Structure 1
Amino acid sequence: MTDFEALDANLRLSWNVWPNSRLEATKSVIPFGALYTPNKVLPDMPVVQYEPVPCKSCGAFLNPYARVDFAGRIWICPFCHTRNHFPAHYQGISEQNLPAELFPNYCTIEYQLAHNKPVMPPAYVFVVDTCLPEDELATCRTALTQALQMIPEYAQVGLVTYGTHVHVHELGFAECAKSYVFQGSKEYTPQAVQDQLGLGASKAVRQPPSPAKPQLAQASPAARFVLPLSDCEFVISGVLDELQRDAFPTLADHRPARCTGTALQVASALMGACLPAGSCAARLLLFVGGPSTEGGGKVVDKELLEPIRSHKDLAKDSAPHFKKAVRFYDSLAVQLVGQGHSLDVFACSLDQVGLAEMKRAVEHTGGMVVQTDSFHNSVFKDSFKRVFAKPTEEGHLGIASNATFEVIPSKDVKVSGLLGPASTMEKKGVAVADAPMGMGGTTMWKLAGLDSRTTLSIFFEIVANAKDQQDASLAAQSSQEFFVQFITKYLHGEGTMRCRVTTFSRRWTDGTNLQDLIAGFDQEAAAVLIARIATYKMETEEDFDATRWLDRTLIRLASRFGDFRKEDPASFQLSPNMSYFPQFMFNLRRSQFVQVFGSSPDETAYCRLVLNRETVADAMVMIQPQLTSYGMGSTVEPVLLDVLSILPDRVLVLDSYFYVVVFHGTTIAQWRKAEYHLQPEHAAFAELLQLPMADAEALIQKRFPVPRLVDCDQNGSQARFLLAKLNPSATYNTSSSMSSEVIMTDDVSLQVFTDHLKKLAVQA
């Protein structure tokens, strides 16, 4: 069996040793799940130029765990034990001449598939809100103009603008600016949009691009609206240069008439007509600067007297537009997924824009989301540039599209479901578990868009029977292992179809052997899975108390796997493999994923969208931020996420994923204000100020969405960004003489939390 540590590059499991019966599996508390990054860049992964070899019975592909009869040219599938003949071109196979997929260290391999249909150049359709202040609109126009300079000239582009009404710009008409107008207060079917644009009768006829420069073959009705940048660069640049605010005036006590939902409906119908399903990597990019007040997907009325919905309104079911808007965007998601197109949202507004309603449309299409307060903000500008970064540039996202993801497990394992940026494909089979988790009832999902960090959570159900396994183990030692295979077929950014196959093996153990189970526990992967499950339950189950559920889960885990004497909290101990898990749960309980007080529904939706798609390492930074200390004459070192880590002569850097804080202690701040760092004799102090900022900038450069940089001093107003994440071991009523700072909170500290956990875990 391959050591599970070797697969951590793109795969993490909550448990790496599984109990051999359903009954013992239910006692393990933490779900059996995998966090898999299907498009991660792996430097040692081979890319071969031939088709994979499938099993004729279960469909699993040839892999290093297959048993091979070289004399008979036969391989035995480890999943269903079916004997398969090798295809003709494998006739030269031998123990000394193995194909790449049989090498033990190639558990992940990628195949470049032959094209079965034409692949067109990538397409970008920009949907721009014109109900913005003049300066905001000008900045948005500038960002779009810069993006057009970064896009390859063969890439296809389209432009839709909206305010009170929706304008679809005809980029193939160079004589003058020409657009088709749709009423913003109405909802349109795809057929109605296509008929009005003159696209209903015929779809665009495309030919495959040449390797050197993909192009459209001939003019067609669809080519008037979505066409190569080289053919319309002058027209689209002219439209953007002359783009004005929405011409319809806004009353003093009203919000602008903004028909965001209708604009997306029209744009998705346009893409469906111009870009055949699955033919290319197509993205619908929305730039929005305020709430939708008109047409489908409306989130608030135009009158300012009506406040936009809050979490309290959603809890009381007193948000009049919420459910209708969610249904609207769900139907839009179904349409986009069917077309294989992604929805990306760039929400730049101090007010909410309706991201909570759009959440499933973004997530199910594998879209990206960036949220900030203004188009002037570097969070928007830098993040938007990275969408179009070339493979050789820093910040390249490695975007792929039109992917299908399939899971094939051994017979004693079933697939419960998936959480992440995907949508179900309703593929039934014997491997589907009875109890679904997330998007369940299937073993295959569709990912309209994915990048090199997109990480899926796959949940499994153990259906093995311990007695059957013991009987089988007498006949075959291989039954002590089980296997799972992930198959991802996708359209690579280069325009080629790829199939990535990851096969892994783990072993069964007697469920009563707790030390064996503990040895295979991955506490970081488990924490991320629990976080994703908690946020999913908060959104789908009424009256779900996430804090109580997390506490009960942790108490059950501690009671099951802790080492203690009954009724003696002082004797409680956890194995090193589990020792940090209570700390992770403590920080998760306090995080913006669970605690919605002080956050808007849009902010909560944004954070959860990012949590559900990022890797284990990045998700752990969101759950438990990292704190680093810098001091004069001392080394740079990580420190506890605790208020006691604040010292007057230290600079702290907090990485919480969504923002990076550079925090100066009181003494450091006073020295800086006295400008000591400008004096030659204090060069060491100048270096101390520069190093944390340089490290913070390095963090920002490698992340998408780009985090906000907060530069603050102790006792300053923005110090709250740091204090909100620290363990409140020193508060206004429990201040410690060792602390130079106290936190004004009634929250319990990690020590109190741990003491209560021990007390409850050891109860009889």
Structure 2
Amino acid sequence: MAEFLDLEAQDGVRMPWNVFPGTKQESTQCVVPVSAIYTPLKTFPNMPVLPYPPLRCRTCRSILNPFCIVDYVAKIWICPFCFQRNHFPPHYASMSEDNLPAELFAQYTTIEYETPTEKADIPPVFLFVIDTCIIEEELGYLKNALSQAIDLLPDNSLVGFITFGTYVHVHELGFGSIPKTHVFKGSKEISKDQILEQMNFFAKRPRQSPGVIAGVRDGLSAESIARFLVPASECEFALNSVLEELQKDPWPVSADQRATRCTSTALSVAASLLGACVPGSGARIMAFIGGPSTEGPGAIVSKNLSEPIRSHKDLDKDSAPYYNKAVKFYEGLSKQLVTQGHVLDLFACALDQVGVAELKVAVERTGGLVVLAESFGHSVFKDSLKHVFQSSDYDLGLSFNGIFEVSCSKDIKVQGILGPCASLEKKGPLCSETVVGQGHTSAWKMCGLDKATSLCLVFEIVKKETPDSIGPSASNQFYLQFLTYYQHNNGQMRLRATTLARRWIAGSGSIQELIAGFDQEAAAVVMARLVSFKMESEAEFDPIRWLDRSLIRLCSRFGDFQKDSPSSFSLSPRFSIFPQFMFHLRRSQFVQVFNNSPDETAYFRMILNRENVANSVVMIQPSLISYSFHSGPEPVLLDVAAVSADRILLLDAYFTVVIFHGATIAQWRNAGYQNQKEHEVFAQLLQAPRDDVDAICKERFPVPRLVICDQHGSQARFLLAKLNPSATYNSSSAPPGGDIIFTDDVSFEVFLDHLQRLAVQQ
């Protein structure tokens, strides 16, 4: 794996196939699609930032890069994508083979441009949207967390404040000593024009007639905007006094009813307010929601408590009456936000569902952050919110208003992107007819992105000819260029360019080269994103069958065996862990949805769709570390055989981190041995996993839920559910000090057995 990690460290890219199958037919036989997982804003310690605009090819608009052919005498460069000859402008006159500009250095395949002409320092905007239909205790937790967050806001940022329950209240923070709010009815759909009218945006200056082209801000004056969006350095007092006086929604709720909560109307008002005040500049709507929406176009359930909130079964049978209307509403909202360049972040904290499944489309297409917790008092919510604004321990590197573009060689097309972005409908010769995710385009809008945001690009090889017809002079290189234009968190606009070259290979001897370039971690992550996408977009899709058939086809293509002899089957080390990843993916929360609510499933998939390969692999196949007196912390197999009475296990399943004490360890701890001086080693053993968990929580967003449990305790299920059931209640008895799993699932050994049998028959 080392060379793939080096490629990621240089360009932020991981690919399942680092040598491309050369023809359309060969790429189909490879089963895992030709694709790339790219982290546009990955931090590189020595990446140069150039203070001048990039040089573009005059035909295909790709950017000068180390793979261009350069004639230093005639001062001409040839674009590797379209072979166009381009002249260097006068300021490159002193260039020679010994005096190269940075963008032609072989090691700078990723480079950034920041043009000094665009010195407009655009402040980031944060619009808080707060749910008040929650119990007093929860409201107290939320107010505490928000007042801490407000202290951490960058001084130059603009802040707005909206609260909602039965009605939507837009607070005027710039109104001096008298608190003033504008109220909208939660059950009505309100247009942007009505909002502008009702909030007196045109009191001092009449609205411009439709015939005149209004300015960027619909002809709004700076004073009218400053009433609602105030610099953080000036509004701390106003904000804190609004927070202190914030009360639970006053409208009575009878015992057999849910509260009247108009989430969709509040978000619609927030989007329109930002669209009127700061269109096209980096802004985030940060929604804090504590229960299900029951009013307005985005309601997910009726007010009657006798009616349950939709489950996966209801969605499958199409018996969730509110679902399609709500999704349609949020699709419209996401289009509006993408056009304005604004982000929707969601912090959903409730024991029940709040509608994350419906909101998913708006959060994902705008590149928003999402956090799901049981309460506003839970560390998952509080620590995650601090992460958003705190830059000391671990900086998320929030950036705004990105546009992502792709250029490729002529034999490759883009099917689409699975990830937090929205298609900009830029059709052209690069676009494939087949669409996966956000497709039919070679440019995407990324309203919000950060250092961890990762996109999965799916390609199609369109070369049709057989290898024999390829002349010896034909180049066997594919080129890809990824351009990300974005608002850096210092307010500057920047452009990052990553240019990659990959070889293609075709014909009889190609299999060994394909195997040598196979990255099984990246392949597992691509398959996980793909299966999640298919489960949401294809009716009657059977994920287990699809994964199994894909794995069998892959193993029979790349495995080594004699026909019909399972015992002769073997896989190259490059492929050997892939069946294990697929085994755990079949059992993961992305595929097995019966145990989770639609909100939880949507949450897991949103995080999977935005994280890099290393983090996604932990979601698919958790890591397990053992601590004991006999040895230091060591990774062990994710198997029930790892459980032992005299061991502590640390399971990192990404969303949950479990510290599991064996029975003997738990007895000693309950007896208080760790507090006695002669048992200092035992105290250190107990502390070691806690320290490792702290390190994990520091750099992960959202912060994982921590479960501390003992063997045979009720919460031990968090660990046992993730382990390979090699010992179950009907297969064997538990070894001394060990454990068995009560399940009818097959173990990995049985799974592998079946795989080998089926692969050799293909």
- SS for the counterpart of 1:482 is strand
Q: Does the CA contact (< 8 Å) of 2:256 and 2:305 recur in 1?
A: yes
Instruction: After superposition, give the CA deviation of every residue in 1:652-704 in whole Å (9 maximum; x if it has no partner).
Output: 00000001101000111111111111111111111100001111111111100
2:413 aligns with 414
Give the TM-score, by structure 2 length.
0.96
- Helix, strand or coil: the match of 1:475? coil
The one-letter code of the counterpart of 2:438 is M
Asked whether the equivalents of residues 626 and 633 of structure 2 are also in contact (C-alpha less than 8 Å), the reply is yes
Cα offset, 1:435, TM superposition = 1.2
1:220 pairs with 2:223: yes
**Residues 511 and 517 in structure 1, CA contact (< 8 A), matched pair in contact too:** no
Is the Cα–Cα contact under 8 Å of residues 347 and 370 in structure 1 kept in the other structure?
A: yes
Are 1:538 and 2:546 matched, yes or no? no
- 1:128-527 equivalence runs, <5 A: 128-199=130-201, 201=207, 219-277=222-280, 279=281, 281-390=282-391, 393-467=392-466, 473-476=471-474, 479-512=475-508, 513-527=510-524
Alignment pair present for 1:714 and 2:717: no
Which residue is equivalent to 1:761? 759
CA distance in 1, matches of 2:437, 2:502: 24
Contact 2:624–2:649 (Cα < 8 Å) also in 1: yes
Instruction: Report the equivalent of 1:213.
Output: none
Provide the C-alpha distance between the structure 2 equivalents of 1:42 and 1:713, rounded to a whole number of angstroms. Answer: 42
CA contact 1:199–1:273 (8 Å) conserved in 2? no
Supply the distance in 2 between the matched residues of 1:621 and 1:236 (Cα, whole angstroms). 40
Q: Which residue of 2 aligns with 1:87?
A: 89
Structure 2 counterpart of 1:535, which letter? S
Equivalent AA in structure 1 for residue 681 of structure 2: A
Q: 1:744 aligns with which of 735, 742, 745?
A: 742
Aligned to 1:8: 8
Deviations 1:254-308 (A, max 9, x none): 010000000000011011111122x2x2100000100001112000011101100
CA RMSD in angstroms, aligned pairs only: 1.7
Deviations 1:594-635 (A, max 9, x none): 000110000000000000000000000000000000001312
Q: How far does residue 23 in structure 1 lie from its aligned partner after superposition? A: 1.4
The amino acid that maps onto 1:749 is S
Corresponding residue of 1:729: 726
The structure-2 alpha-carbon separation of the partners of 1:249 and 1:511, relative to structure 1 and needing over 3 Å to count, comes to farther
- 1:712-736 CA-to-partner distances (Å, cap 9, x unmatched) read 1001111110001000001100125
Q: Look up the equivalent residue of 1:316 and give its one-letter code.
A: K
1:231 Cα deviation after fit: 3.0
- In the other structure, the counterpart of 2:50 is 48
Q: Distance in 2 between matches of 1:123 and 1:680?
A: 54
**Partner residue in 2 for 1:554:** 551
2:574 is the counterpart of 1:577: yes
Task: Point out the more displaced range, 94-103 or 458-467.
Answer: 458-467
3-state SS in 1 of match to 2:188: coil
- Which amino acid is the alignment partner of residue 402 of structure 1? N
Structure 1 position 230, deviation (Å): 2.7
Q: Distance in 1 between matches of 2:758 and 2:713?
A: 40
SS in 2 for 1:570: helix
Where 1:564 maps in the other structure, the secondary structure is coil
Q: 1:204, CA displacement in angstroms?
A: 9.0
How far apart are residue 88 of structure 1 and its match?
A: 1.2
Q: Which of residues 111, 126, 129 in structure 2 aligns to 1:127?
A: 129
Shift of 1:473: 4.2
Percent identity between matched residues is 56
Q: 1:211 maps to which residue?
A: none
Instruction: Please tell me the residue identity of whatever aligns with 2:245.
Output: E
User: How many positions carry a matched residue from both structures?
Assistant: 746
TM, length-normalised to structure 1: 0.96
CA separation of 1:130 and 1:31: change in aligned 2, threshold 3 A? same
Answer whether contact 2:424 2:444 (CA < 8 A) is retained: yes
Q: Does the 8 A contact of 2:566 with 2:757 survive in 1?
A: yes
Q: 2-side partners of 1:436 and 1:110: how far apart? A: 30
Find the residue that maps to 1:668 and give its secondary structure.
Answer: helix
CA–CA distance in structure 1, aligned partners of residues 663 and 323 of structure 2: 46
1:621 aligned onto 2:639:
no
Query: Shift of the alpha carbon at 1:117?
Result: 8.4
Could you report, residue by residue, the CA deviation over 1:235-255 in whole angstroms, capped at 9, with x for unpaired residues?
221111100011101111101
Instruction: Give the Cα separation in 1 of the matches to 2:276 and 2:461.
Output: 45
The AA in structure 1 aligned to 2:691 is A
Q: Which amino acid aligns with 2:260?
A: A
CA distance in 2, matches of 1:609, 1:581: 23
Correspondence for 1:23 among 10, 22, 25: 25
**1:232 deviation in Å?**
2.4
After alignment, is 196-205 or 329-338 more displaced? 196-205
| Structure 2: gaps of 5 or more residues | 209-213
Alpha-carbon contact 2:187-2:295 (below 8 Å) kept: yes
1:454-512 Cα offsets, whole Å, 9 max, x none, are 00000111011344x66554235xx1111100010000001111111000111011243
Helix, strand or coil at the partner of 1:484: strand
* 8 Å Cα contact 2:132/2:164 also seen in 1: yes
How many angstroms apart in 2 are the aligned matches of 1:83 and 1:219?
A: 48
Partners of 1:168 and 1:225 in 2: CA distance = 8
2:69 paired residue among 50, 67, 86: 67
**Corresponding residue for residue 209 of structure 1:** none
Q: Is the 8 A contact 1:204 1:274 kept in 2?
A: no
